[in-house]
Every structure is written in C-alpha cells, then in structure tokens.
C-alpha cells in the first residue's frame, strides 16, 4: 500500500536527534511492550508480515507522532481485536471480559534464554531456478497493490542491477495475507542519481532486497 510508512526519500521530516542517549529503553513501558510481544501467546496464523501490515494501517498522524513502541502496542491491540482475542473495551481498561484463552501457551520465564538465542529463518526451498543472475539489469515494477508489500515507492519504475541472489524467502505480500510461500529474493543495486534528480553524488548506491515478482527484466 502507498501508506505513510513508505518514507524513503520523503522530504520535510527535519533533522535527526544525533545526541540521543544510548541506553536500550528510554521509558520503562517501552521494555514492557517488547517483552510482551516476545512472549505472549498468539493465534498461530499471525506473522511478522501481518504485523507490519497492521502497523502500516495505523492512522497517519498516529503513525508519525506516537513513540515507536507505542505504535507496536497499537498494532498488537488491533491484531488482538481483529483475531477476536480481545475487545477494544478490554484494551482500554485492562479488564478481562472473555473466556479463558485457548491459544497456544505463552512463553514462560524459564524459556526466554532459549527463545532469545533461536534465530527465525525466512528462507524457503524453491523448485524453480531464479529468473535473474547477478549483473542482470532489471527494473522495479511501477505499480504496487493495496495490500502489504516490501517494494518501496521510491524505486518503482527505476532501473537497477542484480547484486546478489538469496534463493527463496517468505514472500511478504502473500504471508501478510496468510499464505506462507517462498519466492526468490535478490539484492538490487540502484544508482542514487537514477532515484532522485538532485543528489550530491549520482554514483552513490542504494541497495534494496526485492523479491522476483517486484522486478521485470530490462
């Protein structure tokens, strides 16, 4: 979707706070959100792509103005309501009004160290060979669909070159709609001067990781 989250190259967002303190969490509640997200029980058909899409669907002003982990809370709240696990009213006052959860069990404290050391893998075997090879010229497709996609607007219609091929990876556009299937993932190199008209050094490079169906041969 052409949402407000798709920020690459947008202008007018001001300077960066380069002097931010370095500690992990600036407010205690931030860590609580992260901890909940990492350990709560959840419907089996949630995915990180569905989460990302639900986050993209936050009202634009809220998306831009709320603290980061607050937007996670908003997103998980919406996912819980959408899945019928909680109601808006329950999220508003924190009081359970439903039956006991029938979801898979929550992560127990003792399981945290193992969970924290387990990488999640997104590669998926594919039977078909990749359509492109490193060095091939490609163009990112101009049109996107209204659902979740990881093809940013700023490369749409722009020509680049395949930098690397990573084999099959979970295709987010499908996964966010509940379908776990792989598609070949590439790293694609774009000359920054092809992306924007007013750059300092046109031969600087921006790399993006893009799936095969985002690309067309050139």
Chain positions 55 to 114 lying near a copy of itself, rule: CB under 8 A, are 56-57, 59-61, 64-65
- Specify the residue, 10 or 38, whose C-beta has the smaller distance to a copy of itself: 10
3-class DSSP assignment, residue 208: strand
Q: How far apart are CA 186 and CA 74, in angstroms?
A: 32
Placement of tokens 């690397």 in the chain: 164
Q: Which of residues 143-162 bind another protein (CB under 8 A)?
A: 146-147, 150-152, 154
Work out whether 132 is an interface residue with another protein (CB under 8 A): no
Which token pair is 58?
């936050």
- Other beta carbons within 10 Å of 162: 20
DSSP state of 58: S
Binding residues for another protein, rule CB under 8 A, total 132
Size of site (CB under 8 A) for a copy of itself? 26
* Residue 208 and residue 155 in contact, taking contact as beta carbons nearer than 8 Å: yes
Interface with a copy of itself (CB under 8 A), residue from 12, 105, 113, 125: 12
Give the whole-angstrom CA distance, residue 101 versus residue 88: 16
121 binds, among another protein, a copy of itself, none (CB under 5 to 8 A by kind): another protein
Q: Scanning residues 145 to 184, which ones bind a copy of itself (CB under 8 A)?
A: 145-146, 157
Q: Is 119 in the site for another protein (CB under 8 A)?
A: yes
Q: What angle do CA 50, 56, 57 make, to 5 degrees?
A: 90
Span near a copy of itself by CB under 8 A; candidates 9-17, 34-42, 92-100, 161-169:
9-17
**Contact between 1 and a copy of itself per CB under 8 A:** yes
Instruction: Answer with the entry of a copy of itself, another protein, none that 157 interacts with (C-beta below 5 to 8 A by kind).
Output: a copy of itself
Residue 42 is a binding residue for another protein (CB under 8 A): yes
Is residue 112 a contact partner of residue 39, using CB atoms and an 8 Å limit?
A: yes
Q: Which among 179, 142, 136 is positioned nearest to 157, based on CA atoms? A: 142
Compose the 166-185 pattern: x for residues touching another protein by CB under 8 A, - for all others.
x--xx-x--xxxx-x----x
CA nearest to 155, candidates 188, 204, 133:
188
Q: Is 10 in the site for another protein (CB under 8 A)?
A: yes
Contact 69, 24 (CB under 8 A): no
Which chain residues interact with a copy of itself by CB under 8 A? Answer: 1-4, 9-14, 56-57, 59-61, 64-65, 142-146, 157, 196-198
């Amino acid at each position: 979707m052409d949402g407000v989250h798709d920020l690459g190259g947008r202008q007018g967002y001001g300077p960066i706070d380069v002097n931010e303190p370095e500690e992990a969490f600036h407010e205690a509640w931030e860590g609580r959100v992260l901890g909940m997200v990492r350990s709560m029980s959840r419907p089996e058909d949630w995915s990180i792509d569905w989460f990302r899409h639900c986050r993209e669907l936050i009202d634009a002003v809220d998306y831009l103005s709320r603290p980061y982990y607050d937007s996670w809370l908003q997103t998980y709240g919406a996912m819980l309501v959408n899945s019928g696990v909680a109601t808006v009213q329950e999220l508003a006052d924190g009081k359970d009004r439903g039956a006991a959860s029938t979801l898979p069990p929550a992560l127990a404290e003792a399981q945290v160290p193992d969970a924290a050391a387990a990488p999640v893998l997104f590669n998926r075997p594919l039977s078909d060979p990749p359509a492109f090879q490193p060095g091939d010229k490609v163009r990112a497709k101009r049109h996107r669909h209204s659902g979740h996609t990881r093809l940013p607007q700023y490369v749409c219609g722009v020509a680049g070159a395949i930098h690397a091929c990573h084999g099959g990876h979970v295709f987010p556009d499908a996964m966010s709609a509940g379908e776990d299937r792989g598609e070949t993932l590439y790293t694609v190199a774009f000359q920054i001067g092809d992306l924007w008209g007013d750059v300092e050094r046109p031969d600087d490079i921006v790399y993006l990781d893009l799936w095969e169906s985002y690309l067309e041969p050139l």
